[in-house]
């Protein structure tokens, strides 16, 4: 089981460092005023979550409504199930009566194969081409049917350690 935590304003620099790491695939972010503002807003809204390892923030996910807006795992932490745990946690935050959407890499991007597989394993299907992202990498929209209309996917279990927050991330308000 992997501990998922709220991202706090103290984590902003670590989140931006992760963004810098994935910029070759995602496009410019960490130095963009609009991205920084969006990060601060989603953190303030308590819709950004992370997994930590001994070196700090190892991965993060941002959720808005029933959309996975951003999910990334640091290179040092890949292959440890953190992406799967972050996605499972994000899906718990979504309304189970509604479909969930995500924009990810298309099949022409070999570096995005793991992300595509992660979403496919969780029950997402490709619905439409979304064109190139700011890095020029082809993307697609994927959709996961509502919980009542199909498999929610076997994406693992997550937990938030008790007593670490005034509100536990796993509790829906």
Q: In which band, very low, low, confident or very high, does the pLDDT at 146 lie, cut at 50, 70 and 90?
A: confident
- φ, ψ at 63 (rounded to 5°): -125, 135
Q: How far is the C-alpha of 34 from the C-alpha of 114, rounded, in Å?
A: 28
What's the fold here for domain 2-159?
A: Aminopeptidase (3.40.630)
pLDDT value of position 153: 42
pLDDT value of position 108: 94
Segment 90-112 mean pLDDT: 95
Contacts 24+ apart (CB under 8 A), 122-126: 122/87, 122/88, 122/91, 122/152, 122/153, 122/154, 122/155, 123/150, 123/151, 123/152, 123/153, 124/100, 124/153
Q: In which band, very low, low, confident or very high, does the pLDDT at 166 lie, cut at 50, 70 and 90?
A: very low
pLDDT tens sequence across 71-98: 999 999 999 999 999 999 999 999 999 9
């Amino acid at each position: 089981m992997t501990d998922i935590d709220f991202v706090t304003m103290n984590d902003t620099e670590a989140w931006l460092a992760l963004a810098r790491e994935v910029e070759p695939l995602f496009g410019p972010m960490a130095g963009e005023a609009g991205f920084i503002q969006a990060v601060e807003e989603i953190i303030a809204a308590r819709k950004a979550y992370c997994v930590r390892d001994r070196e700090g923030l190892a991965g993060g996910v941002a959720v808005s409504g029933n959309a996975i807006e951003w999910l990334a795992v640091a290179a040092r932490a890949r292959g440890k199930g953190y992406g799967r745990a972050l996605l499972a946690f994000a899906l718990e935050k979504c309304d189970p009566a509604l479909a969930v959407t995500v924009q990810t890499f298309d099949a022409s991007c070999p570096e995005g194969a793991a992300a595509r597989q992660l979403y496919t394993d969780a029950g997402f299907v490709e619905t439409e081409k979304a064109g190139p992202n700011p890095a020029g990498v082809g993307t697609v929209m994927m959709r996961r049917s509502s919980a009542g209309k199909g498999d929610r996917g076997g994406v693992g279990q997550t937990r938030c350690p008790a007593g670490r927050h005034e509100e536990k991330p796993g509790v829906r308000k």
